C-alpha cells in the first residue's frame, strides 16, 4: 500500500485554478471600463485595509503575549484577570465589539480624558476628534488579543520544561529564559496559527465598514450604490481581498518551510 503523500508535496492545482480565474478577472479589468473604474475606486481603500489590519494585529500580538504571560503567572490575581478578559472578549461578536468601542467606549474615554485635563486647563476634546479608524483599530485589537493570547499560552506551555530547568540551573533569570529558550521555540510552533489569524484579521477588517471607514468593503458599497454594477464592483472587491490573503498565505507557508528546514 502506497503511503499518503505529504500535503506540502502536492502540486498546488488549487493555486493554478485561482491564478487562471484571477488572470481572467484582471483581463476584464483591462478590457472593461466598468471594471477599471471600480478597481481605481476600490484600490483607494486597500491602503486603509492594510493599515488597519497590520496595526491592529501588531497591537493584538503584543497584548495577547502579555495576557498569555499573565495567564501563566504564579500570581492568582494576574491569572484570573487574564482569564476574565479572554473569556469576555472571545464571547462577544467582533461586530458588536466594534460598535461598542466606537459609540460607548470611545465617548467614555473622551469624557474621562477631559475630566483629567480640565484640572490643568487643557482645551477639552470632542468626540468627533476621535477618528473612526482609530476606534475600529482598537476594537479589532481587543478582539484578536484574546484569541492570540490562547495561541501564545499553548506555545509557551509546549516548550520542554527540561530545557527551562536546565537554563535555570545555568543561572539565567526569568527574562533570559523567556528570551533565549521559551519564546523562540514557542514561536516556531505557533507560527502557523499566528499566520492564520493574520489572514483572518485582513478579512475581518472589512467589518470596519459598518463605522463608515473607507476601506475596500465600504468603497464597494458606495460604488455599487452609485453605478448599480453590483456584480462587477463586488467581483473587484473579492479579487482584491483574495490577492492579499493568498499572497499572505504563500509568504507564511514559505516562512514555515524555511523554519522547518532550519530546525532539522
- Tell me the backbone φ, ψ of residue 122, rounded to 5 degrees: -80, 140
Distance CA 27, CA 18 (A): 14
All three cell numbers of 240, joined, read: 482584491
Distance CA 29, CA 8 (A): 33
Going residue by residue through the chain (264 aa), what tens digit of pLDDT does each one get?
Answer: 455 555 556 777 777 887 888 788 778 778 888 888 888 888 888 999 999 999 999 999 999 999 999 998 889 999 999 999 999 999 999 999 999 999 999 888 888 878 777 777 666 677 677 889 999 999 999 999 999 999 999 998 888 888 777 877 877 777 788 888 888 888 888 888 998 999 999 999 999 998 888 899 999 999 998 888 888 889 889 889 988 998 888 888 888 877 766 665
Q: pTM score, two decimals?
A: 0.85
The pLDDT value given to residue 139: 94
The pLDDT value given to residue 24: 81
- Per DSSP (E only), the strands in the chain are none
Distance CA 22, CA 29 (A): 10
Asked if residue 103 lies in contact with residue 215, where contact means CB atoms within 8 angstroms, the answer is no
Annotate 112-177 with three-state secondary structure: HHHHHHHHHCCCCCCHHHCCHHHHHHHHHHHHHHHHHHHHHHHHHHHCCHHHHHHHHHCCCCHHHH
Asked if residue 155 lies in contact with residue 190, where contact means CB atoms within 8 angstroms, the answer is yes
Structural domains of the chain ordered from first start: 14-263 (1.10.3720.10)
Amino acid at each position: 500500500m502506497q503511503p499518503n503523500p505529504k500535503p506540502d508535496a502536492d502540486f498546488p492545482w488549487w493555486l493554478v485554478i485561482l491564478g487562471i480565474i484571477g488572470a481572467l478577472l484582471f483581463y476584464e479589468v483591462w478590457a472593461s471600463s466598468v471594471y477599471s473604474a471600480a478597481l481605481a475606486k476600490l484600490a483607494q481603500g486597500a491602503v486603509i485595509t492594510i493599515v488597519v489590519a497590520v496595526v491592529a494585529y501588531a497591537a493584538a500580538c503584543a497584548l495577547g503575549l502579555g495576557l498569555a504571560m499573565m495567564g501563566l503567572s504564579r500570581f492568582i490575581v494576574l491569572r484570573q484577570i487574564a482569564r476574565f478578559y479572554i473569556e469576555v472578549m472571545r464571547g462577544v461578536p467582533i461586530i458588536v465589539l466594534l460598535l461598542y468601542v466606537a459609540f460607548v467606549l470611545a465617548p467614555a474615554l473622551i469624557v474621562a480624558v477631559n475630566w483629567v485635563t480640565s484640572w490643568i486647563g487643557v482645551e477639552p476634546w470632542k468626540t468627533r476628534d476621535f477618528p473612526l479608524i482609530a476606534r475600529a483599530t482598537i476594537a479589532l485589537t481587543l478582539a484578536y488579543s484574546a484569541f492570540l493570547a490562547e495561541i501564545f499560552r499553548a506555545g509557551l506551555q509546549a516548550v520542554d520544561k527540561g530545557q527551562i530547568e536546565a537554563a535555570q540551573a545555568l543561572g539565567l533569570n526569568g527574562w533570559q529564559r523567556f528570551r533565549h529558550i521559551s519564546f523562540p521555540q514557542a514561536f516556531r510552533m505557533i507560527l502557523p496559527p499566528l499566520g492564520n489569524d493574520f489572514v483572518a484579521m485582513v478579512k475581518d477588517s472589512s467589518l470596519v465598514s459598518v463605522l463608515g471607514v473607507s476601506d475596500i468593503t465600504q468603497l464597494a458599497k458606495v460604488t455599487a450604490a452609485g453605478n448599480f454594477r453590483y456584480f462587477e464592483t463586488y467581483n473587484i472587491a473579492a479579487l482584491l481581498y483574495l490577492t492579499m490573503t493568498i499572497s499572505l498565505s504563500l509568504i507564511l507557508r514559505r516562512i514555515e518551510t524555511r523554519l522547518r528546514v532550519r530546525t532539522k
